A = this chain, B = another copy of it.
Amino acid sequence: MVKTENTEERILEAARAVFIRKGLTGARMQEIADEAGINKALLHYYFRTKEKLFDRIFFEVFQTISSGINQAFTENIPFFDKIKKFIDLYIGVLLENPYLPIFFLNEIQQNPERLQQFIEKDVFKSMSSFLIQLSDEINAGRIRPVHPVHFIINMIGMLVIPFAVKPLLAPIVSRQLGIDYNDLLRERKEVVFQFIINAIKPIEK
């Protein structure tokens, strides 16, 4: 066996970068080849079709997303710590992959069928354990009653959206308020946590 892994790895990195930037329909095989430092013939030699290559990348992206969730939710730590950990971890991932959420959300809107292979799997088993823990906290009166699904949606929304609206908001807050949007993104680790705590902490101490 020769150094095929190296080239394949470079192709995958390039494909991931280009697909996430341009989306499935926007990406060009030639551009992926260029970014990988090879030619189109070799690219097709490794991955016969654009579809096959995209499937692979989409799978990896899905793993990036779901493993982040699982990592934070699997640990056996107090509820508020888990929230904090989840937020830190997620914003960390997003800071490194700012284009990833819109790429992912756009592709599943265009082609929801692609998700079926994942929904069957146990990718979200950790999430259901989190839902149980959340219910326990509510029953014990340690947090206010909230619908667990709504709670998760709220959290994800506050984490993801600032990255998605960056092209719109960054110039505005920069011009009108003199704020650097990247600073603002980093602040959110603390801000979102505090906002959530305030929202779910019971009124009486």
A-to-B contact residues, CB < 8 Å: 22-23, 25-26, 99, 102, 105-106, 108-110, 112, 115, 119, 124, 128, 144, 146-147, 149-150, 153-154, 156-162, 164-165, 167-169, 171-173, 175-177, 179, 184, 187-188, 191-192, 195-196, 198-200, 203
Contacts and interface: CB of A to CB of B under 8 A. Distances in A.
Given A105-B164, A105-B165, A157-B162, A124 B172 contact: yes
A22 B115 contact: no
Contact of A23 (B106, B144, B191, B198): B106
Contact of A176 (B115, B128, B162, B165): B128
A160 B105 CA distance: 12
A161 B157 contact: yes
Given A119-B172, A157-B160, A167 B199 contact: no
B150 A188 contact: yes
A102 B162 CA distance: 14
B195 A149 contact: no
**Max chain B C-beta neighbours (<10 A), residue from A108, A157, A169, A172:** A157
B25 A23 contact: yes
Given A149-B177, A150-B187, 18 more contacts: A23-B106, A26-B110, A102-B109, A105-B106, A105-B164, A109-B164, A109-B167, A124-B172, A144-B198, A147-B187, A149-B169, A150-B184, A150-B195, A153-B158, A154-B195, A157-B162, A195-B199, A198-B200
